[in-house]
Each structure stands twice: as structure tokens, then as C-alpha cells.
Amino acid sequence: MTLSATVDMLKTGIWESFYMTALSSLFAYVIGLPLGVVLVVTDTDGIYPIPWLQKILGVVINLLRSVPFLILLFIALPLSKYVIGTRIGSPAIIIPLTIAAAPYIARVVESSFRELDAGVIEAAQSMGASTWQIIWKVLLPESRPSLLLGAALAITTILSYSAMAGFTGGGGLGAIAINYGYYRYEPFLMWVSVILLVVMVQVIQEIGTRWSKKSDKRIR
């Protein structure tokens, strides 16, 4: 393989890894963020207690989180075939990534909300704030630094999941490392792909950390 072809392939791999991670993170947050809110709000000590609902959601989330991603990937690919029309390539991996990441994000969001001082919520309740007002004007704004750190962690986890997609015909840097670096005995491509993935993780983590610090009112 020529140097030009190698560079083009790596560029394509970076783009595929990026959009798989970005779209999966977006869809996973659309599902996981509300789930995290519900887990906290409906808890026994929450602002709108519904213990049976909280327990059911907790069990479902724990079950999904306990399934190893590679197994979940094989289970969910038929759904990709039904929705997208194919079970091969980067677009097909977005659905399994979303299914795997949403429960994880729900727990990350739940953890961020539980770090909030209970006195802030009690103050809002004493002023007559409704459940939705507490969620939108207290929980989400006050937990923003922790949520941003959690988002960086979740996105880097999704990126690492996407690297496994090469085992099932997916794209991205992980597929290059597996299909060319491992199966075709080209260690240079494997190591370059790994290094690029590490760089992407560091960039995402740094962005999340900086945004978290900027949004933290305690360090202003």
C-alpha cells in the first residue's frame, strides 16, 4: 500500500470514528439524560417519588450495562439491518453504540445529580417550585460541571466501543487496526491507529475538563 493510500485510509478512519462517536453520543444522550433524571426524581427520597418505577428502570439499566459490548453488538446488528438496511459499515454500528451507551449515560447523569447539595433542592421546594422547574432551573444548571465531566467520560467510552466495531465489519480507526494491522500483519497501521485513537480521547477529555471548569461557579 502506498503512503498516499495509507494517509487517505487513515483520514477516512478518523472521520468514521468521529461521526460514529458523535451521532451515537447524541442519540444516547437523548435517551440516557431523561432516564438519569427519572432515576433521581422518582427515587424514594426524590422530588417526585415513584419507587416502583425507579426500581424497574434501575433493573433494566443494570441488565443492559452488564452485557459485554461485543455480545450486545452481535445482538443489536439485526436491528441495524431492519432500521438502516445493512449490518455492515459505520452507520450500522451507531444503533448498537447507542443501545450500549444510553444506560451508561443514565447512570453518569444520575451520579451527577446525586452530588448536588440537597439544601439547594429544598430551598427551591420551599419557594414553591414545581417538579419541572426544579429539574430545569436547579438540577441541570447546578450539576453542569459534573455533567460535562461525565459527558467527556461517556464520549471517550463510546469511542473505545466504536473501535471494537472492526470485528463485525464496522469502520473507523478500530477497523483499520484490526483488519490491516492485525489480520494483515501490518503493525505500523495498527500502532498509528491506536495512537490516533489515544489522541482523540485526550482531546475529548481536555475539552470536557475545560468546559467543566468554565461552568463551575465555585472556582470563579
Per-residue pLDDT of the chain (220 residues; tens, 9 = 90+): 677 888 888 888 899 899 899 999 999 999 999 999 999 999 988 888 999 999 999 999 999 888 888 888 888 888 888 888 888 878 888 999 999 999 999 999 999 998 888 788 888 888 888 888 888 888 888 889 999 999 999 999 999 888 887 777 777 888 888 888 777 777 888 889 889 999 999 999 999 888 888 877 655 5
Predicted confidence at residue 2, as pLDDT, reads 73
User: Are the beta carbons of 50 and 192 closer than 8 angstroms?
Assistant: no
Predicted confidence at residue 69, as pLDDT, reads 87
Alpha helices, DSSP H, located in 127-218: 131-134, 140-142, 144-163, 173-176, 187-215
Predicted confidence at residue 137, as pLDDT, reads 87
Q: Which residues contact 42 (CB under 8 A, 6 or more apart)?
A: 48, 49, 50, 51, 53, 54, 57
Predicted confidence at residue 1, as pLDDT, reads 63
Tell me the CATH number for domain 3-219. Answer: 1.10.3720.10
User: Are the beta carbons of 154 and 28 closer than 8 angstroms?
Assistant: yes
pLDDT, one tens digit per residue, over 70-117 is 888 888 888 888 888 888 878 888 999 999 999 999 999 999 998 888
Please state, in angstroms and rounded to a whole number, the distance separating the CA atoms of residues 4 and 216. Answer: 45
Predicted confidence at residue 131, as pLDDT, reads 84
Please state, in angstroms and rounded to a whole number, the distance separating the CA atoms of residues 64 and 161. Answer: 15
Predicted confidence at residue 55, as pLDDT, reads 94
Query: What are the φ/ψ torsions at residue 129 (nearest 5 degrees)?
Result: -70, 140
User: Are the beta carbons of 200 and 159 closer than 8 angstroms?
Assistant: yes
Q: Which residues contact 39 (CB under 8 A, 6 or more apart)?
A: 54, 57, 58, 61, 106, 107, 109, 110
Query: What are the φ/ψ torsions at residue 127 (nearest 5 degrees)?
Result: -90, 5
Predicted confidence at residue 217, as pLDDT, reads 66
DSSP code per residue over 43-107: STTSSS--HHHHHHHHHHHHHHHHS-HHHHHHHHHHHHHHHTS-SSSHHHHHHHHHHHHHHHHHH
Take residue 13 and report the three cell numbers written for it: 478512519
Predicted confidence at residue 219, as pLDDT, reads 54
Q: pTM for the full model?
A: 0.88
Predicted confidence at residue 110, as pLDDT, reads 92
Neighbours of 218 (CB within 10 A): 5
Domain edges within the chain: 3-219
Environment class of 154 (CB within 10 Å of its CB; exposed 0-12, middle 13-18, buried 19+)? buried
